[in-house]
Structure 1
Amino acid sequence: MDLVFRASRVITPQGERAADVGVRDGRIAAVTGPDELSGDRVVELADDEVLLPGLVDTHVHVNDPGRSDWEGFPTATRAAAAGGVTTIVDMPLNSLPPTTSVAALEVKREAAEGNAHVDVGFWGGIVPGNAADLVPLHEAGVFGFKCFLIHSGVDEFPHVEDDELRAALRELRTVDALAIVHAEHPGHVTESGPGYRDFLASRPHHAEGQAISGLLAAARETDARVHVLHLSSGEALPALREARASGLRVTAETCPHYLTFVAEEIGDRATHFKCCPPIRDAANRELLWRGLADGLVDLVVSDHSPCTPELKEGDFATAWGGIASLQLGLPAVWTQARQRGHALTDVVRWMATAPADLVGLTRKGAIAPGRDADFAVFAPDDAFVVDRAKLHHRNPVTPYHGRPLAGVVRQTWLRGNRITGDRPTGRLLSRGDA
């Protein structure tokens, strides 16, 4: 072997075990019992460390090009690596131009080429008037298509109405492409006042529930594959359960901030907590955890949506809605998961295996022969207090600042090479990469 990892705890698809993991030419060649492999180099994990597959985050707003003062590929991917994430899929907004055509995709690829510390794939976008661009974008390698059912926050990526959603789903069904949907119903969202309670009341549970019900009806009519983005409302879980029981091809995700924070603890000037849909109350948080445990929520991804510090200033009526957390997702989720009796095998399923499966990245998301040698060396019983000055994303704004978290990422490896942050070695991925 070129490289052997030797650990008393390795998270594999079969569960946790002591193992040697052998790497050859950047891929996992063997997973054996302990002390069975030899290699040119042997990395022995400490007794308190666990070898995880590199995480896959399919919901990241890099914003580059066009809004690189908000974020950029060098900083976003360095933050990802620091958090044990070895693959991201970049959203089609808030970059300029948005990724709604093949020409715009090429602009995005040019911005990312040579600037990524982890592997990067891309989503395409669905907006009014670009139905003819969807199949060409699919053929150009995007992993699926995002749309909004409500204003996206940026005017250059307008939302779709119900008839436009159905037309897009019918188009995507011809190539069996995935639609990923920001599901809030504009008819149930009102203007927010300045405080957090005002903001929460302006985007109620039923705004999410109505939008998800409409999406499920459109999916039933078109037989398209759909995915519910950043689920924040536990009240939508029964509809997802019923839809799956009826055979609809629907999946759902939630985010670390919905699993960590609660509305009761957010002050009226704490705009760094603002996101859409909003962080809800403690009882709702437990519903989301139950949805994960029951398999109704498939994956946990960051929805890393940063901006410049001044855009987060002001009040909840005017501040930018987005949370920067790409570097902190694993310890944030693990801190809460362990309190509820979940194991690292569960966290790996939610944050590595299921996201890879969602987009068809068959070489990512698991420690198994044939997969890329992407790893996170994680110390689950270590702890730290979040210091925004130590975060790698471009602008140090985060609601996690000052929060104690369990679990420290000590090393991250991409295709058998340790990521140091000195030299970008990430590759650009396309749909169908195996």
Structure 2
Amino acid sequence: MKKVFLYAAVCLFGLASCIDNNVKDETPAQVENETIQTEDPYSSIALGNKYYSTFDNGGSRALDYLNYPDYLGGTYHDSIGNLVFLIKGDMEMAKKDVRRRIGNAPNLRFEPCTYSLRELSELANKLNEQFKDLNLCEELGWTSIAISVVENRVYVFFKECTDSVIAKFKKTISDSEMIRFDKLIMEPLSIQADSVRTDSRAASINIHMGTKISVPPYSGSAGFRAKCGSDMGFVTAAHVAPTVNASCSFNGAVCGTVKKIASTTAGDASFIAVNTDVFFPTVYTAWTKTKLEKNYVAHSCLQRLTAVAEGTSTGKAINALVEFTNGSLNLDIGGSVKNITNLVYALYLNQNVRNEHGDSGCIVYMQGLINGQSVNNYVGGALCGSALGSENKYFMVFSSADKILNDLGAVLY
């Protein structure tokens, strides 16, 4: 299996945007992205969601791995649309259980692995308790933790990954064989103040996913549409909207209020309640007019899916391939360093086309494959920022919709 390492500089994005469409209507004038919309039962996304839903007990998903069977090493999606199960132990028993849960689909693959997803997740969570100690992180130059399902390992990253640092980590924290070590060099997480672009158009009623929003002094992009209790609105990044009850503006007019901030175990996310008497959050993306389905991808089923981000600064669809989940970072949110977990890292497919300042909080949606064609357009999450990896490879960093919605008690609508 191919190894992918993060060295990385994580940058949070928060600058400027423009929008279009001035009619309260969910049907855009033209649809540029004709990606197939389907609920085909053999979509790897649909199969993965169905499998993980069998373990949902209706409670918090912060510790959902506790419900997973001992045989499950995780799942990922291959390049031709198969859902691949990593299996620890009795392969035939595991195959029987998987098929009992989701049926005998033709695009299921099974591969052996050494560790279960429960073991990996428990170790990552145990390490994260010590990762919260900022003095310890400073002493070791410890910068991040993440899980690679494909490699069946927990990654621990340092500013300088030397033999002496690794030896000290193994002696004082953990010498588990499940851990791999590498560099992860963080950049300062600066949040840029709000600004007004000279090419902004007239005020609009529709708020499409990925268009510009502002929560002074910060600004970023609207994420996915959601409903929290009786409030309708959208999710964005918490570092764009870090204060409850702060006003959110859209194209120069107040459109809503920061109603709730997700806990740090759900990533970097806030919910904006919109004044729906005037403004209308839509199910279309701002730039490609892609209509998203009222469904999301289970956090544990994200690896090796194509993630597509549409933000206000880049103004286009930007693709990346998910390589790591359950990422932990100590991030500055509203002037306070917080331990953020369950982040997702995806490798940009075109390294010359990446997200920029102003894209923070934007919609990230996921695409699967059936017979080589893109399907589903499920909600994936909200953009957090970007990271620089080994060999100058850049990664998209986002919070998953699964974790965010469960934490907020919100739903897609």
With normalisation by structure 1, the TM-score equals 0.27
